[in-house]
Amino acid sequence: MKKLAPLLLLFLLIAACGGDEGSDTPEEAVTRFIEALQSGDPEDIYAAVHRREGESFQKSDERMDWNRWDYCNIEEFSIGEAVLDGNRAKVTIHTKREVGEEIQEQDELVVCIQENKKWKVTMSGSSPLFLPPSKKPD
C-alpha cells in the first residue's frame, strides 16, 4: 500500500495539470486554431494558442466582458508547407476571407511553438490578420 500511494499521487497530479496540452504536429495545431476561430469559441481558441498568450487574451476579454474572437472572417482554409526550425514551425495556409462583400484569397503564415513535445500556435510572428481587435467596437 505504501508503494501505491506515491504512484496514485503522481497520477492525480498529472490529471490535475491535464487540460489541453497541444497538438502532435504544427499542421494539427494550426487546424485546431483556425477551426476554433471559425467557431468563435474562446475556450477552444485559448486552448489552441500558446499558454502565455492565451492567458493574456483571456484576462483581457474577461475584464472588458466581450469576445474579441467573434470577428473571424475566415470562410475556408487549407494547410500548405510547414517549415521546422528547432522548436518553432512556420506553417503557410491558404485562406478565403470575406472582407466587406468580397471574398479574398491569400497565403498567410501561422507560427507554432513546440513545448513539452506538443505544438501550439503563437500570435508572435503569425500574420497580423489573425490578431483580433484589441478594443470593443462601438
Q: C-alpha grid cell for residue 59? A: 484576462
Tell me the per-residue pLDDT of 59-70, one tens digit each, with 9 for 90 and over: 766 666 666 666
- Delineate the domains of the chain, giving CATH numbers in brackets: 24-126 (3.10.450.50)
Return the pLDDT at 82.
96
pTM passes above 0.85: no
| Residue whose C-alpha cell reads 513539452 in the numeric block | 116
Return the pLDDT at 50.
86
DSSP 52: H
Return the pLDDT at 138.
58
d(C-alpha 31, C-alpha 96), whole Å: 15
- Pick the closest to residue 27 from 105, 119, 138, 135 (CA basis): 119
d(C-alpha 20, C-alpha 120), whole Å: 10
Q: C-alpha grid cell for residue 112? A: 507554432
Tell me the per-residue pLDDT of 68-100, one tens digit each, with 9 for 90 and over: 666 678 899 999 999 999 999 999 999 998 888
